Amino acid sequence: MAIRDLIPWKRQGQDIAPRQEERVDHPVMSLHQDINRLFDDMLRGFSMPSLPPIGRSLGWPRVELSENDKQIRVTAELPGMEGKDIVISLDDHQLVIRGEKKSETSDEECGYSQRSYGRFERRIGLPSQIDQDKVEAAFLNGVLTVTVPRTAEAAKGRKTIPINVG
């Protein structure tokens, strides 16, 4: 089979894609099928469609994590949302941020919109040595900041490991 036969151009009297039995016979087509199946299975595992909607990716909302000996700070961008639409919880050593952005208008004449609406949930793993009773959250100008303080034992348990070079 020539490399030209692998390109899905429509030739006279042929469909764009070759018949199923022709695909399996050639190793390149078999590899192509396996890779497609791998990506389909991976995306199905996230309960998401093959392509995420425009403007949202698998990691929405975007977050920044910073930490020191006293606390962990999580900052999430949630533009266009209000604090009442966001729920924050601690669940089995995970910080869970979930919410819903609702459509403000019911304009049925609008044929196209680039604005996104819908529910989201983001889970961020936390260490076991945190003070759950002192977690604080603030929401200002579309930015959510959650501060998770560490326990006194967490600072004691930290150890720096030297790197041997040579």
74 plus 133 within the same structural domain? yes
85 plus 150 within the same structural domain? yes
- Name the strand (E) or helix (H) holding 36: helix 27-45
What is the extent of the structural domain holding 68? 63-102+119-156
Of 16, 33, 35, 15, the C-alpha closest to 24 is: 33
| 69 domain residue, yes or no | yes
Distance from C-alpha of 145 to C-alpha of 136, rounded to nearest angstrom = 8
82 plus 21 within the same structural domain? no
pTM above 0.75, yes or no: no
pLDDT, one tens digit per residue, over 127-138 is 888 888 999 999
Place 157 in a pLDDT band, splitting at 50, 70 and 90: low
Separation in Å, CA 18 to CA 81, 85, 153:
48, 50, 64
3-class secondary-structure state, position 136: strand
CATH of the domain at 149: 2.60.40.790
16 plus 72 within the same structural domain? no
The confidence score (pLDDT) of residue 50 equals 42
90 plus 129 within the same structural domain? yes
Structural domain count of the chain: 2
When mean pLDDT is compared across 81-95, 99-113, 139-153, the lowest value belongs to 99-113
User: How many Cα atoms occupy the beta-carbon half-sphere of 105 within 13 Å?
Assistant: 8
| 127 domain residue, yes or no | yes
Distance from C-alpha of 146 to C-alpha of 113, rounded to nearest angstrom = 31
Of 77, 120, 76, the C-alpha closest to 98 is: 120
68 plus 148 within the same structural domain? yes
94 plus 13 within the same structural domain? no
94 plus 127 within the same structural domain? yes
Distance from C-alpha of 134 to C-alpha of 130, rounded to nearest angstrom = 9
The confidence score (pLDDT) of residue 162 equals 87
34 plus 75 within the same structural domain? no
Place 19 in a pLDDT band, splitting at 50, 70 and 90: very low
| 111 domain residue, yes or no | no
For residue 165, count other CB atoms closer than 10 A to its CB.
4
| 9 domain residue, yes or no | yes
